Amino acid sequence: MGWFIHHVNIEAHDVPQSVAFYRDVLGLKQGEWNYPEGVELGLGVDQLAVFGTYNRGIHIVHPDAAFQKRHGLLHNPTVGGHFAINVPDAEAVKQRLQKAGHVVSDAGTYAMAGVRQLYVWDPFYNLVEINAIVDETGGPRPANGEAHAKRIEREGWHLHHINIDAHRVATASQFYASLIGLTEAEWQAPPDCPIADITGNREALVLFGNDDNRGLHVVRPQPDFAKRNNLDHNPTIGGHFAIQVDNLDAVAKRLDDAGLIYSDAGCYAMAGLRQLYVYDPSMNLVEINGSI
Ligand SMILES: [Fe+2]
Ligand SMILES: [Fe+2]
């Protein structure tokens, strides 16, 4: 069985406002949170939302300073966002992390039906959730060994990639490969790629996942990236996540209608994909891409 990006968790100061953005501007349909039986997280309806099914996809959470202590965790997954990697064997990952000296929170099955969750910081303090499906209430397991197998949600979108920044890409990559068990793939750049100095440089960018650039992108922050590429956003600093949609023109029109500033990078980094960047209402950077 393969691993896959299970969800991205983003912090929102006003969850209903963020829900309106993802629903009305990006065009996604809000899902329903699946709690384990009898569990209450202590988060109100205006503090937690999900887009996707089986708790996969996008989690929007209001920061809760008391969450960590309430659940006996060493990390607070409601503050500052995180992303989650689903692996076939969470216990094996936990053992490897602890043996290597990493601090792990083992939350058990506490927030999502049928899913065991661990939390750990990567070497550059990106918060990573490692989870595993423990029974059928956690949703279907991947049918084959493909890395980050594509999962199409309603309205035809899917979680395309997570991008995290790392000051030393090799150090971060070592962590994700040897401890988490992710598999590297070959970056597919478009012809005449204007950022070929990055896409072809393993010290600047490493891809874990699938050969069509889906999965996890580990990137070295590039302070001049936005200027060099005539963008209003710098996707190499602070991380972002990307969804792929069926109709990118329709999203662009709704962004225009809403008067939001977005960067239309065209097809500049990944073969066959046009990419837009925009901040959500809580200044989380979101990439929306579509096939060309
Ligand atoms: Fe999470
Ligand atoms: Fe990206």
Would you state the pLDDT for residue 141? 84
Q: How far is CA 122 from CA 83, 119, 172, 183, in A?
A: 11, 10, 7, 16
Q: What is the DSSP letter of 35?
A: P
Would you state the pLDDT for residue 145? 78
Residues lower than pLDDT 50 in the chain: none
Instruction: Give me the CATH topology for the region 4-138.
Output: 2,3-Dihydroxybiphenyl 1,2-Dioxygenase; domain 1 (3.10.180)
Give yes or no for a contact between 105 and 120, defined as CB atoms under 8 angstroms apart: yes
C-alpha to C-alpha distance for 33 and 40, rounded to whole angstroms: 11
Would you state the pLDDT for residue 284? 98
Would you state the pLDDT for residue 50? 96
Question: Which ligand ends up closest to the CA of 198?
Answer: 2
Per-residue pLDDT tens over the stretch 29-88: 999 999 998 887 777 779 999 999 999 999 999 999 999 999 999 999 999 999 999 999
Would you state the pLDDT for residue 125? 96
Show the tokens assigned to 172: 């971060």
Distance from residue 77's CA to the centre of ligand 1 (Å)? 7
Q: Where, residue-wise, is CATH 3.10.180.10 in the chain?
A: 4-138, 154-291
Residue 199: CA atoms inside 13 Å, Cβ hemisphere, count? Answer: 16
Q: How far is CA 7 from CA 4, 19, 28, 129, in A?
A: 9, 16, 15, 9
Distance from residue 229's CA to the centre of ligand 1 (Å)? 32
C-alpha to C-alpha distance for 103 and 119, rounded to whole angstroms: 8
Distance from residue 129's CA to the centre of ligand 1 (Å)? 6
205: how many CB neighbours lie within 10 A of its CB? 22
Please identify which residue in the block is written with the tokens 């629903």. 23
Would you state the pLDDT for residue 146? 82
Query: Which CATH superfamily groups domain 154-291?
Result: 2,3-Dihydroxybiphenyl 1,2-Dioxygenase, domain 1 (3.10.180.10)
* Residue 20, amino acid: A
Would you state the pLDDT for residue 1? 55
**Claim: this prediction has a pTM higher than 0.75:** yes
Distance from residue 252's CA to the centre of ligand 1 (Å)? 29
Sheet holding 82-86, edge to edge: 48-51, 57-61, 4-11, 82-86, 127-133, 115-121, 104-108
